[in-house]
Amino acid sequence: MKLVVVLMLAALPLYCYAGSGCQLLEDVLAKGADPETSVEEYVDFMSEFLDNDKEREVAAGLKQCFLRQSNETLANVMVLENAIFDSLLCAPF
């Protein structure tokens, strides 16, 4: 199950790099880190990318992991996201 989460999070940046922009990845992370978004809302948001019940279960587990974190930790996740996207490694060629 952890492997599915890792693969899902690894596939999103590749999807963004393919020309659609990174708004999708930012939205996934923002909804994941938002304590106001319920597990059901998050799974519904991700439903376009979830093909079966096992993947829905993994997405729900990922959101539940975010919900267990403190607000400070969630804010740090967003700071980390911004630092990664603003780094030279993610700069367009």
Closest Cα partner for 65 from 12, 22, 5? 5
Q: Give the Cα-Cα-Cα angle 13, 16, 19 (nearest 5 degrees).
A: 145
pLDDT digits (tens, 9 = 90+) for 52-65: 999 999 999 999 99
Taking 70 as the threshold, does the pLDDT of residue 15 lie above it? no
Q: How confident is the model at residue 8 (pLDDT cuts 50, 70, 90)?
A: low
Check: CB of residue 6 under 8 Å from CB of residue 19.
no
Long-range CB pairs of 83-87, under 8 A, 24+ apart, other chains included: 85/22, 85/26
pLDDT, averaged across the chain: 79
Give percent helix, percent strand, percent coil of the chain, each to the nearest 5. 80, 0, 20
